[in-house]
Amino acid sequence: MAARPVLAGLVIDLSPLRSGRGFRIVFAVRLISLFGGGFRLVALPMQVYAMTGSSVLVASVTVVNGVAGFGGTVLGGLLADRLDRRRLMLASLAVETLVVGVFAVNTHLPGGPLLGVIYLCAAVNGVIGTMGLIAQQSMVPALVDPDRLPAAGALFAVTAQLGAVAAPALGGALISLGGVGSGYLATCAIAAVATAAVWFVPPTPADTAAGGVPALRAVADGLAFVARHPVVRPLLLLGFTQVLFTMPTVLIPEFTDRVLGGDAALAGLLYTAPAAGALLASLTSGWTGSVRRTGAIVPAAVALCGVSVVLLGLGRTAVAALAALVLLGCCQAVEEILRYSLIQAHTPDALRGRVNSAWLAQATVGGSLGASLMGGLAAVLGTATALVAAGALGAALVGAIALTAPGLLATRGVAPAFHDDTPY
């Protein structure tokens, strides 16, 4: 009998899905959007390579999409604090549906698809998709109770992990069965259904005072809030540290070849291991809604990410490497769930759009810099030593951030445990 309460405390908390229709719709739309994005992740490179035979041009489309997405973080944060977030999400999905439709039409042009159209659509999709994601994240606190924010964060994490693992595989299968054009048409139809579903999400009225603030001043206000807040500031610094020093995937091919002496099959398993660990941690995240020392657990989890990368660098067998990467994925999921819920709870609604845009920007910029850092260290120190050095440095920086963040370490639960008079 005692095992049942323990199991209930581990299994992912589904209560946000039962709390109201609004969150259920947002959750379903997010899942659909991630699978649509997974299809495009496979379809666009394949289509561009079939057209040009150039990996450089394939990479350039990804760069265009990424740069546009970074621009979308700034614009999306501003708009999410000035407009009804439901309408912003609705508009972004409608435009994404149109973009996928243009991809489909472009594929079936009599003279063949036009590369310029692909670049244009990739740029529009990067901006609009990021804006929609910010609107989704910012509206969640209005749809669930504060004590259910960790559970909502865990459900969002599961959708991201399922999208990362399953969506590309399903996209590849869809392309092999019906071709790229048919896949675009199917994705367009599904996106149209998701767009219609957003009509049934409750409105999230905008802050009327925010509209009178000039755009640059509004961005500066958001950054100033982040810089001053005793909880939000270290949380974003921890996230940046995590993506900068503890994302070793760029070194997996070289590590597999030179250190483990493995083949492509082993490399595929190593790529999958962090997602498997993250999915395992998310599905057993029921405890995150009742834990008290949330402010201390986040830096501990990020530090363990660094330790996992060190263990990966020290490992000399496939089993050791896989175990280290599964541990890394588990720790990443825990810190992401708790960090998301704490940031939403400690950010005033009038600033959630801009703070969530900072969250996405630090992940985007940090991920790119982290890949460059890992590659540079590997060139100088060798692959295994580079992993050990990066992981150790990341863990040390986490300790330094934690020691200078008493407000975060003192945080209990999710909701602010003190009167938050941080100016904004």
CB 326 within 8 A of CB 373: no
CATH 1.20.1250.20, the chain: domain bounds: 13-198, 215-409
- For 2, 6, 128, 296, 372, the CA distances from 299, given in Å and listed in that order, are 31, 25, 32, 6, 24
Q: Which fold has domain 13-198?
A: Growth Hormone; Chain: A; (1.20.1250)
H-type alpha helices, 145-214: 149-198
Q: Give the pLDDT mean for 306-328.
A: 96
The residue written with tokens 């600033």 in the block is: 351
Share of the chain above pLDDT 90, in %: 37
Record the pTM.
0.83
Query: What does DSSP assign to residue 2?
Result: T
Got the DSSP string for 322-366? HHHHHHHHHHHHHHHHHHHHHHHHHS-GGGHHHHHHHHHHHHHHH
Which range, of 201-215, 265-279, 298-312, 357-371, averages the lowest pLDDT? 201-215
Residue 346 tokens, joined: 């400690």
Residue range 145-186, pLDDT digits in tens = 888 888 888 888 888 777 766 766 677 777 777 788 877 888
CB 195 within 8 A of CB 97: yes
pLDDT at residue 2 tops 70: no
- Residue 256 CA to residue 317 CA, distance in Å, equals 10
Residue range 189-219, pLDDT digits in tens = 888 888 998 988 888 776 655 556 787 888 8
The residue written with tokens 């972004």 in the block is: 92
Residue range 49-68, pLDDT digits in tens = 888 888 778 878 877 877 88
CB 376 within 8 A of CB 251: no
At 3, the pLDDT band (50, 70, 90 cuts) reads very low
CB 372 within 8 A of CB 290: no
In this predicted structure, what is the pLDDT of residue 295?
Answer: 92
- For 34, 255, 299, 336, the CA distances from 288, given in Å and listed in that order, are 24, 34, 15, 11
Share of the chain above pLDDT 70, in %: 92
Got the DSSP string for 289-318? GT-S-HHHHHHHHHHHHHHHHHHHHH--SH
Q: Domain spanning 215-409: which CATH class is it, in words?
A: mainly alpha
**54 exposure class (CB count in 10 Å sphere: 0-12, 13-18, 19+):** exposed
Angle, alpha carbons 43-275-378 (nearest 5°): 90
CB 29 within 8 A of CB 198: yes
In this predicted structure, what is the pLDDT of residue 30?
Answer: 85
